Amino acid sequence: MNTPLLLTALATGLAGSAHCVAMCGGISASLGLGSQHKHHLLTYHAGRLLSYTALGLVFGCLLPLLGVRPHSPAWGMVLRLAAATVMLLTGLQIAFGVNLLRRLEHYGARLWRPFASLVQSLLPVRSSSDALLLGILWGLLPCGLIYNALGLALVSGNPLLAALTMLTFGLGTLPAMLLIGAFTGTLLKALTQDSSRLILGGLIIASAIWTALPFLH
């Protein structure tokens, strides 16, 4: 198990909570507060986590399908360096707001358009199946932090580890999403303070340096 990779994914989810609430908070609030069936909120988030995990599994399969052998010494070093690079970029984005994936987000928004009408048709949510499908679709929403997490999944070179990486990222987004209401303001304030973002980003940058240590000797 690659602990730095998973910790980076978790920190990315936690640090991106403010962004997640901005993107998905309205739906979470309506499911959790405005609905008589509050279990729809849990079903919705289960759909999101399922979507993230499935994406991780797909991305984790890409390199092996292309003939990359993660367990070979040569490819292992390449993937380790790639993972360190993605972790470094993620840490810089969280700590200093340096987003190098804006263009990728723009292209992702184009791919999202066909799903937008389907999402609208599911609102307001009337059943658990609607909530689950809504969560699955919302997990595909273009987002720079998701792309960072997918980068980690890709360079893991292991489908199961990649799926676990994306699941861990999704779990990191849950606290703010589940606590929308009385505690959300306090939680988001804590997570979005410059000091908090610097600490989370700094830890990820430190993990990136630790991962890249063999190349620094």
pLDDT in tens, 1-55: 678 889 888 988 887 666 565 555 556 555 554 445 567 888 989 999 999 999 9
From CA 155, how far away is CA 81, in angstroms rounded?
9
- 188 with 179: CB under 8 angstroms? no
Q: Give me the half-sphere count of Cα atoms (radius 13 Å) on the Cβ side of residue 99.
A: 13
Q: What's the pLDDT tens digit per position in 69-128?
A: 777 888 878 888 888 888 888 788 878 877 776 777 777 778 778 888 888 888 888 888
One-letter amino acid for residue 109 of the chain: A
Q: Which pTM does this prediction carry? A: 0.81
Sign of the dihedral defined by the CA atoms of residues 167, 171, 172, 178, in that order: positive
Map residue 79 onto helix, strand or coil: helix
* pLDDT per position as a tens digit, 134-179: 999 988 887 777 888 888 898 887 899 999 999 999 999 887 777 6
Comparing CA positions, the residue from 79, 90, 82, 86 lying closest to residue 202 is: 90
ω into 124 cis (within 30 of 0): yes
